[in-house]
Amino acid sequence: MSSPNATSPPATTSTRGTTSTPKGSDSFVHLHVHTEYSMLDGAARIGDLFTRAAEMGMPALATTDHGYVFGAYEFWKKAQGTGVKPIIGLEAYLTPGTHRTDKTRVRWGDERTSPGDDVSGSGAYTHMTLLARDNTGLHNLFRMDSQASLDQVYAKWPRVDRELLEQYGRGLIATTGCPSGEIQTRLRLGQYDLARQAASDLRDLFGPENFFCELMDHGLDIERRVQRDLLRLARELALPLVATNDLHYTSPEDAKAHSALLCVQSGSTMMDPSRFKFDTDDFYLKSPAEMRHTWRELPEACDNTLLIAEMCDISFTEDEGRYMPQFPCPPGENEESWFVKEVQRGLAERFPAGVPDYAQRQAEFETDVIVSKGYAGYFLVVADFITWAKDHGIRVGPGRGSGAGSMCAYAMKITDLDPIPHGLIFERFLNPERPSLPDFDVDFDERRRGEVIRYVTEKYGSERVAQIVTYGTIKAKQAVKDAARVMGHPFVVGEQLTKAMPPDVMGKGVPLSGIYDPQHARYGEGKEFRELVATEAHLSEVVETAKGLEGLKRQWGVHAAGVIMHPHHAAPPGRPGHHPVRLPELRGPRPGEDGLPRAAQPHDPRRRHRQREGQPSAGHRPRRAVQDPRRQAHLRAALAR
């Protein structure tokens, strides 16, 4: 597949400052990539992407997931040690000239315009590819996406407008985007002058060295119809070209699993000719040779992918952090001095007849460790919201986990157990040699948990408090059921297969790969399943399709109890009266690995029990049983067959 023999613009200048693009290089960098965090649309697992990119000798790889930066940290983390530089980006959803809170559907065409040629999302948004050039750009990308999400999620996505681009555009590289971008949409509608003006405005906003004309060619008419005008526009505005492949899965053989994933998203089957689908199987991690062959008439478009990779350099700091929430101390006090006084006051209240020597000695030892590690403010903040909860009649657990071994926590009424008589050891919670952060497991009455979160948000500021995002993953049994449905099989086929699979133990099932792996600890339990699948060819096809779905992200949500507190800005300021803040919207390291304390984690003590017993977690309503007698009769007949 080659690009049309359009009139080519002059060769793009390949030197920016001290960086030069390697001429005649045979390498390539993919800059438009949808990982598993483009949920129910991207089927490219991050680990597989880096493994394959390293095998092909690619120097870098980008992530540009739809609308959110959920996978940014994991993408960066899994790149370490592979020799492939990670580039963090986003396929942003831009408003069609409206404010991000304006829900007006906009049409740029007329009554004769095909809906597929006009503004995407039925007039809700256009697309733009954004890449973080440096850590300033990375932080701006996070802030912009977070602010857009807070202000309004419309037509499934947080939308960015020109105001946010101007506010957070520093440190970002932008492109004209895919066929759903503003420039290509205008070109399809025959509005060349408006497309040129839009591109000129964006070039001025990001800077000439940071704005590229993005070229795609998957053999689709929607791409090739505008390519001549797109190249003309790039020539007139002196925009450097950059070639991309709209990557949604890692290998060509993953195309079928990706088609099944799209059917899961749309609720359709693979036999439905009108279903949402990709019209070619070219949306994979193509080799540098394939990409350079496609764009052999415009080699600078491939060269510029290497240039952008050299321009981009971001990092996450992984170390023992000091991102402790700051406690508002009385005048003349700091966190350390106030912490010492609060511990001594608490000891006097806990032991009204006189503080025992063992308690005083232990408290003094712990105080030295806590202050030297910089955790005084952490204790003050946790004690503050626990005290507030108790004062307002909200039930609080007596203490759980290693935090119950702290005498200072007992004195400050964080816990209600004297650790010494109970043989609880402080060093399990915190000691001078321990690099990781301590954590208190705090149990609140789930019915009033939101009040505690609201109190913390209002006292410490909505920009300093954020709830944690969670993800629903397609597990083995659900993957089998989804695969059976999208392949058009009756409901009972999925039921038959999943009932033959090994049961979950402590909430953990056996992956499909483990059922077929003799080295897996529970391989023997999969004998019934393997024998069943071997009896019918169509069951084998279902399982193979399910393997492509298993482990992918299905949806995201807000953790009911996990809360992050930060001394500066955990998230953009929320709207007045808007609680709780639902950010940060990326999958970061687990609390305690990122320098953020695990202080505010109100816990539902029934959650683990419910999951172990196969009951729904708090906040999830069980589905009603099928009551339609005709439906039940149909199922019985199908089972009998």
Divide the 641 residues of the chain into consecutive groups of 10 and give the mean pLDDT of each group.
Answer: 38 35 73 97 97 97 96 96 97 96 94 89 96 97 93 92 97 97 96 97 97 96 94 97 97 96 95 93 96 96 97 86 80 95 97 96 95 91 96 93 93 95 92 77 90 92 87 95 96 96 92 96 95 94 96 91 80 45 46 44 36 35 40 47 45
Q: Which two tokens stand for residue 346?
A: 């608490």
Is 261 in contact with 549 (CB distance < 8 Å)? yes
Pairing of strands 126-132, 19-20: unpaired
Per-residue confidence (pLDDT) for residue 357, from 0 to 100: 96
The one-letter code for the residue type at 205 is: L
pLDDT at 565: 86
Token duo for residue 273: 């000719």
Backbone φ, ψ for residue 198 (5° rounding):
-60, -45
Cα-based distances in Å from 412 to 381, 383, 440: 11, 6, 13
CB 216 within 8 A of CB 245: yes
Residues 6 or more apart whose Cβ sits within 8 Å of residue 557: 469, 470, 471, 472
Cis peptide before 584 (omega within 30 of 0): yes
CATH 3.20.20.140 maps onto the chain at 30-250+285-311
**What is the DSSP pairing of strand 172-175 with strand 211-215?**
parallel
Question: How far is 238 from 308, CA to CA, in rounded Å?
Answer: 17
Q: For position 67, what pLDDT does the model report?
A: 95
Q: How far is residue 49's CA from residue 52's CA, in Å, rounded to a whole number?
A: 5
Q: Dihedral sign, CA of 383, 388, 391, 397?
A: negative
Quick one: which of 568, 563, 595 has its CA closest to 579?
563
Cα separation of 268 and 227, whole Å?
A: 32
Q: Where are the alpha helices (DSSP H) in 117-217?
A: 120-123, 135-151, 162-168, 182-188, 192-206
Residue 198 CB-half CA count within 13 A: 26
How many Cβ atoms from other residues are within 10 Å of residue 273's Cβ?
6
**What pLDDT score was predicted for residue 65?**
97
HEC readout, 482-548: HHHHHCCCCHHHHHHHHHHCCCCECCECCCHHHHCCCCCCCHHHHHHHHHHHHHCHHHHHHHHHHHH
Q: Which fold has domain 30-250+285-311?
A: TIM Barrel (3.20.20)
Cα–Cα distance, 270 to 402 (Å, whole number): 52
